[in-house]
Structure 1
Amino acid sequence: MKKKIVGSYPYTNVLFSISAALFMIALFGLFAIGTKRLANRLSSGIEMQVILDKDMTEQEQESLAASIQNFSFVSKEEAPQFISKESAAEIMIETTGEDFVRFLGENPLRDAFAVRVDVGVETSALEDVKYQLGSLTGVYEVVYTKNMLQNIRGNMRTIGFVVIALSLIFFSTAIILINNSIRLALYSQRFLIRSMQLVGATQIFIKQPFLIRGAIQGAIGGGIASLCLALVAASAIASMPELVYLISSKDIGFICILAVILGSLVVVSSVYFSISKYLKLKLDDLY
């Protein structure tokens, strides 16, 4: 008959369950970070059209561009882009399929700057930006697409609710899966626990080997989940390089460390409460 070691229980099955549950949490955590960053990029990169007065000289346009760039809310990564009225007319003709310049006999459009501003999608903030840009000398009008911003705001709110709901579901499911795996594994140790209790061992002495082994298993499970996450993330980025703007190596490293810590904490907690339950049971209830 194989001798049972205190704190030992079916290792492979439990480790697989822990790793799978932690991988599920880690993967969704990385997804949540990417989704949040995407929402921020969509909401912060609002483009406004700064329409210029007619007959501005090239020097006046350059001076205006410098004034626009000095505002703190204007993106420093992307300078204001000059759009001549001729270019704007070509774009509109290509889009609509109608040559309105020939029909009208002149080009009614004006030169403009496409300016990307780093503010939220709140109407009050955008209106304040519009007022400040519009107050500059040489600016005829400032326009931006309000309907698109309303759609972004609605989508961001929906995405936020979905991410929160799924986070709770995934986390709860993973915790239940780990807890049930630990409880089933410790079931085989219930008589050994009772034997130690009958010979006078304290609760701390009985729990200690199980807690140590649980912490090690949780850390190993978190490490396996982290390795799988890193492989999946690397494969996804290799297939879609644009993902580097949404998830970084720091994000992956943070999630991996969190998975190891969370694995140890969850497993130790499950072991602690399961052992406490068996210590309180009567002998007849063990069968």
Structure 2
Amino acid sequence: MARRKKKVGRYPGGLILFSMTVALFLIGFCGLLALQSKRLVTYIRENYEVRVFLDRDIDSAKAEPVYKKIVARPYVLTANGQPQVNFVSRDAAAREFIAETKEDFKTFLDDNPLHDSYRIRLAEDYFEEAKLQAVKKDLEAIDGISEAVYQENLVDTINRNINKIYIVMTGFAVVLLLIIVLLMNNTIRLALYSQRMLIRSMQLVGATNGFITRPFLLRGLWQGLLAGLIASGLLVALQQAAVYNLPELAVLQEPVKIAMILGALVVLGMLIGFVSTYQAVHRYLGVSLDELY
């Protein structure tokens, strides 16, 4: 039986494909985790409320001008063209208070001491203690508003924790990327080790370096493309499974940015495959015969 002829650029690629797919999946997972974390932070900030209490003697006719002045402020969040300002009557506030505390103040008070109020959601850029203080002062300067309140010091605490999380995640992602690139480079180099004699034989018969390198580079690009597509598919499946089991995660999804991450994975896979293959092949092109053995 005739021995099968070995073809340039053909080498055991299953290990490379598997390793690259796992590596890209981990990189993509870190990217999705960072994206979801950023969206979660934005969601928390945009749902943070400042409560504005109106004067006790104000009526509905006077409350309308107050509302118009509030929604005209630049720090008020706008979603789908609507300012995020909600009116809460004193009766509704009383019901909320009783539901939360389980104590009915109406049993020992003849009057409802609570005020009508507006609950204002702020733009993300104003999620800082200094800016919130300025917002509070600006709101209290509006005629008809008795007080503006928010949970002081909570914002700075949240921002500090968020910054710590970002630093840890960034450091972890950078270290992971470096480790993965080094591992992939070594894996491809080991896979090409079996082709070193074939490369030297082609050099001896006069083949140029470009002719020898081309099929290996094409194989590296193809493996990177395939690994990127598989890793992207696994990430999409993981994401859909997470949303299916936790429907609350749907508000954190950003399809355009997710698509950009998946596209970047494919490009990164092709880049790693090309560069690592190029380095490995050129290493064997430049070694002496003694070093090959």
Shared fold (TM-score, shorter chain, > 0.5) = yes
**2:115 is the counterpart of 1:115:** no
**Pairwise CA distance, 1:85:** 2.5
Secondary structure at the aligned position of 1:74 is classed as: coil
What does residue 100 of structure 2 align with? Answer: 95
What does residue 33 of structure 1 align with? Answer: 35
**2:59 is the counterpart of 1:57:** yes
What does residue 222 of structure 1 align with? Answer: 228
| Partner amino acid, structure 2, of 1:137 | D
Query: 1:221, 1:263 within 8 Å by CA — same for their partners in 2?
Result: yes
Question: For residues 18 and 170 of structure 2, what CA distance do their matches in structure 1 show?
Answer: 27
Question: For residues 246 and 10 of structure 2, what CA distance do their matches in structure 1 show?
Answer: 44
**Could you tell me which of 191, 197, 201 is aligned with 1:195?**
201
Question: For residues 147 and 249 of structure 2, what CA distance do their matches in structure 1 show?
Answer: 36
Greater shift in the superposed pair: 242-251 or 5-14:
242-251
Query: 2:46, 2:77 within 8 Å by CA — same for their partners in 1?
Result: no
Secondary structure at the aligned position of 2:139 is classed as: helix
Unaligned runs of 5+ in 2: none
What does residue 44 of structure 1 align with? Answer: 46
| Partner amino acid, structure 2, of 1:219 | L
**2:237 is the counterpart of 1:235:** no
Unaligned runs of 5+ in 1: none
**Could you tell me which of 10, 13, 21 is aligned with 1:11?**
13
Identical pairs, percent: 39
**2:278 is the counterpart of 1:275:** no
Question: For residues 84 and 182 of structure 2, what CA distance do their matches in structure 1 show?
Answer: 51
1:188-244 deviation line (CA, Å, top 9, x unaligned): 101111122223333222211111111111111111111112222222222222223
**Pairwise CA distance, 1:162:** 2.0
Query: 1:43, 1:152 within 8 Å by CA — same for their partners in 2?
Result: no
Question: For residues 116 and 154 of structure 2, what CA distance do their matches in structure 1 show?
Answer: 23
Query: 2:29, 2:235 within 8 Å by CA — same for their partners in 1?
Result: yes
| Partner amino acid, structure 2, of 1:94 | A
**2:143 is the counterpart of 1:141:** no
Give the aligned CA root-mean-square deviation in angstroms.
Answer: 1.9
1:90-115 deviation line (CA, Å, top 9, x unaligned): 33333334444444544332221111
| Partner amino acid, structure 2, of 1:117 | L
Query: 2:87, 2:117 within 8 Å by CA — same for their partners in 1?
Result: yes
| Partner amino acid, structure 2, of 1:91 | E
Question: For residues 165 and 66 of structure 1, what CA distance do their matches in structure 2 show?
Answer: 46
Residues 64-103 of structure 1: pairs in structure 2 closer than 5 A: 64-77=66-79, 79-103=84-108
Greater shift in the superposed pair: 241-250 or 23-32:
241-250
Question: For residues 79 and 29 of structure 1, what CA distance do their matches in structure 2 show?
Answer: 31
| Partner amino acid, structure 2, of 1:76 | T
Secondary structure at the aligned position of 2:148 is classed as: strand
Question: For residues 86 and 44 of structure 1, what CA distance do their matches in structure 2 show?
Answer: 26
Greater shift in the superposed pair: 144-153 or 198-207:
198-207
Query: 1:69, 1:76 within 8 Å by CA — same for their partners in 2?
Result: no
Question: For residues 219 and 172 of structure 2, what CA distance do their matches in structure 1 show?
Answer: 31
Residues 254-269 of structure 1: pairs in structure 2 closer than 5 A: 254-269=260-275
What does residue 251 of structure 2 align with? Answer: 245
Secondary structure at the aligned position of 2:122 is classed as: strand
Secondary structure at the aligned position of 2:153 is classed as: helix
Query: 1:190, 1:278 within 8 Å by CA — same for their partners in 2?
Result: yes
What does residue 206 of structure 1 align with? Answer: 212
| Partner amino acid, structure 2, of 1:81 | N
Query: 2:24, 2:227 within 8 Å by CA — same for their partners in 1?
Result: yes
Secondary structure at the aligned position of 1:175 is classed as: helix
Question: For residues 153 and 129 of structure 2, what CA distance do their matches in structure 1 show?
Answer: 11
Please give the TM-score of this superposition, normalised by the length of structure 1: 0.92
Please give the TM-score of this superposition, normalised by the length of structure 2: 0.90
Query: 2:129, 2:153 within 8 Å by CA — same for their partners in 1?
Result: no
**Pairwise CA distance, 1:33:** 0.7
**2:290 is the counterpart of 1:284:** yes
Question: For residues 134 and 47 of structure 2, what CA distance do their matches in structure 1 show?
Answer: 16
Question: For residues 100 and 226 of structure 2, what CA distance do their matches in structure 1 show?
Answer: 58
